[in-house]
């Protein structure tokens, strides 16, 4: 009977995942964690995403098509 099963990933894969997570969630200018807000635009089937940095006031906006 198997009680515990651990899925251990190699260090290199872990480092790649962490780098990707930081690139998406942190400010590219100063490295501070971004604050996200979302608005759904039903008439265009679009989800509008705004990421703002509380430290340096950088704002990024992206639109994602909802299927």
pLDDT in tens, 56-66: 989 999 988 88
Strands 35-41 and 59-65: unpaired
Q: Residue 50 pLDDT more than 80?
A: yes
pLDDT at 1: 59
End-to-end CA distance of the chain: 43
Please give the order of strands across the beta sheet that includes 59-65: 35-41, 46-52, 59-65
Neighbours of 49 (CB within 10 A): 14
Q: Give 6's pLDDT tier (boundaries 50, 70, 90).
A: confident
Q: Worst-scoring range by mean pLDDT, 10-19, 28-37, 39-48?
A: 39-48
Most distant CA pair in the chain: distance in Å? Answer: 54
Taking 3-state DSSP, the helix, strand and coil percentages for the chain, each rounded to the nearest 5, stand at 25, 35, 40
Q: Residue 40 pLDDT more than 80?
A: yes
**pTM reported for the whole predicted model:** 0.67
């Amino acid at each position: 009977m198997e009680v515990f099963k651990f899925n251990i990933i190699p260090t290199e894969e872990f480092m790649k995942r962490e780098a990707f997570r930081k690139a998406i969630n942190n400010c590219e200018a100063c490295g501070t964690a971004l604050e996200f807000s979302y608005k759904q635009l039903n008439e265009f089937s679009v989800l509008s995403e705004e990421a703002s940095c509380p430290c340096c006031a950088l704002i990024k906006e992206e639109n994602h098509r909802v299927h």
